[in-house]
């Protein structure tokens, strides 16, 4: 499948969290005294990815500013201030942070997500350095990390999928300190397997950069698909959040076979510059080269973000697009039950 020629600094993933309840589990040490996390349902959080283009060849950063304004409006609505915001990677286009004092950090993060409703802490090798928290207290970056919320009833698994991407391996940033060439894809898969196997949570949610399935420009990521679907089937993870493709999409993989996994994929990679290829089109013309995935429930080549409300038995995912009513009304709403119909456990 085609690969982006303008990839940003690859994951780690970004987490923005607001102070509304006590920290749980390992989160207390991970996020420090200013960050508190909810212990009870419902959880409210935004998901946005592939951002970081402010002032890059475009007056509003290819809609990064508009998406941030939409997020602020949602935070000030009846929905309420989110408990946290997840970023699905590719945070600073086009080459990531060059050092800990890089002005891009202020220009493309702090000054963009400045609304009161978005003052909720944050997590995307300079991006991983905790010293960045001195510049903006919200910044919390990590890879391959579990975060337990709601008293252990919800587990987020932040999974680094970048080592699965051959293009990243041979790219100029692949050899940077701490980059993909110093990582192991098999080890990352084993990490996720061990974490899922040990989890007793009711909700198991995977957050990564590369989606296993997608109707966007990049399409299917076969290495990720093979790895994650075997684990989803065995350990019953319900939802996989991703970015990578610069669009919004909801996919539900549910094969008729009793032996196939049943899970939802939420692609939220519309944080700034959208792609013009995908969903059966290429630059506005029909194209078989960028097919719509059979598992796609809804999707569009658009900028935007998603707002999630997680309850004990249901997750509600609202998709907001810059192309639909100026981002004030959800263009698509997914209702995902906690209990999906799984196949048997397979060793």
Reported as a single tens digit per residue, the pLDDT across 95-131 is 778 788 888 888 888 888 899 888 875 544 557 777 8
Q: In this structure, is residue 266 part of a structural domain?
A: yes
Q: In this structure, is residue 344 part of a structural domain?
A: no
Query: Which of 233, 232, 269, 231 is closest to 250 using CA atoms?
Result: 269
Q: In this structure, is residue 326 part of a structural domain?
A: yes
Tokens describing residue 20: 């509304």
Reported as a single tens digit per residue, the pLDDT across 309-347 is 999 999 999 999 999 987 889 999 999 999 876 554 443
Buried/exposed 283-311: b ≥16 CB within 10 Å, e otherwise: eeeeeeebebbebbeebbbbbbbbbbbbe
Reported as a single tens digit per residue, the pLDDT across 260-285 is 789 999 999 999 989 999 999 999 99
Q: In this structure, is residue 280 part of a structural domain?
A: yes
> Where residue 219 sits, what CATH number does that domain have?
3.60.21.10
3-state secondary structure (DSSP) of residue 22: coil
Question: Would you place residue 10 in the very low, low, confident or very high pLDDT band (cuts 50, 70, 90)?
Answer: very low
Reported as a single tens digit per residue, the pLDDT across 316-325 is 999 999 999 8
pLDDT at 49: 92
Tell the burial category of 204 from Cβ atoms under 10 Å away from its Cβ (0-12, 13-18, 19+).
buried
Q: For residue 211, is it left (φ>0), alpha (ψ between -120 and 50) or beta?
A: beta
CA distance 159 to 189: 9
pLDDT at 205: 97
Q: In this structure, is residue 1 part of a structural domain?
A: no
Which residues form the domain of 96? 13-337
Question: pTM (2 decimals)?
Answer: 0.88
Cα torsion angle, 232, 237, 238, 239, sign = negative
Domains held by the chain: number? 1
Average pLDDT over residues 22-32: 34
Q: In this structure, is residue 102 part of a structural domain?
A: yes
CA distance 139 to 124: 7
Residue 314's CB: how many other CB atoms inside 10 A? 14
User: CB–CB of 71/118 below 8 Å?
Assistant: yes
CA distance 21 to 330: 28
pLDDT at 57: 60
Q: In this structure, is residue 79 part of a structural domain?
A: yes
Q: In this structure, is residue 4 part of a structural domain?
A: no
């Amino acid at each position: 499948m085609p690969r982006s020629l303008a990839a940003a600094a690859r994951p780690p993933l970004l987490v923005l969290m607001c102070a509304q309840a006590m920290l749980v589990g390992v989160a207390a040490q991970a996020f420090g005294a200013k960050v508190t996390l909810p212990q009870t349902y419902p959880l409210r959080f935004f998901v946005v990815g592939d951002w970081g283009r402010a002032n890059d060849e475009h007056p509003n950063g290819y809609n990064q500013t508009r998406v941030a304004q939409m997020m602020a409006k949602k935070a000030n609505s009846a929905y309420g201030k989110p408990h946290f915001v997840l970023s699905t990677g590719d945070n600073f286009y086009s080459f990531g942070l060059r050092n800990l004092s890089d002005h891009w950090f202020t220009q493309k993060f702090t000054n963009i997500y400045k609304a009161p409703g978005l003052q909720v802490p944050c997590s995307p090798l300079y991006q991983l350095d905790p010293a960045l928290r001195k510049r903006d207290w919200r910044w919390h970056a990590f890879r391959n990390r579990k975060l337990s919320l709601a008293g252990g009833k919800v587990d987020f698994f932040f999974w680094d999928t970048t080592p699965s991407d051959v293009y990243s391996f041979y790219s100029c940033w692949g050899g940077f300190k701490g980059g993909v060439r110093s990582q192991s894809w098999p080890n990352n898969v084993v990490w996720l397997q061990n974490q899922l196997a040990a989890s007793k949570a009711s909700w198991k949610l995977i957050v990564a950069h590369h989606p296993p399935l997608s109707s966007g420009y990049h399409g299917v990521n076969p290495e990720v698909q093979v790895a994650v679907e075997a684990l989803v089937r065995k350990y019953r993870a319900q939802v996989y959040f991703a970015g990578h493709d610069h669009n919004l999409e909801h996919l539900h993989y549910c094969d008729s076979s009793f032996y196939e996994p049943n899970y939802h994929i939420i692609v939220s990679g519309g944080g700034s510059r959208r792609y013009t290829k995908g969903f059966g089109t290429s630059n506005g013309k029909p194209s078989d080269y960028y097919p719509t995935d059979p598992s796609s429930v809804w999707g569009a080549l658009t900028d935007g973000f998603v707002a999630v409300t997680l309850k004990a038995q249901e997750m509600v995912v609202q998709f907001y697009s810059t192309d639909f009513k100026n981002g004030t009304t959800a263009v698509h709403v997914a209702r995902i039950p906690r209990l999906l119909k799984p196949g048997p456990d397979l060793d």
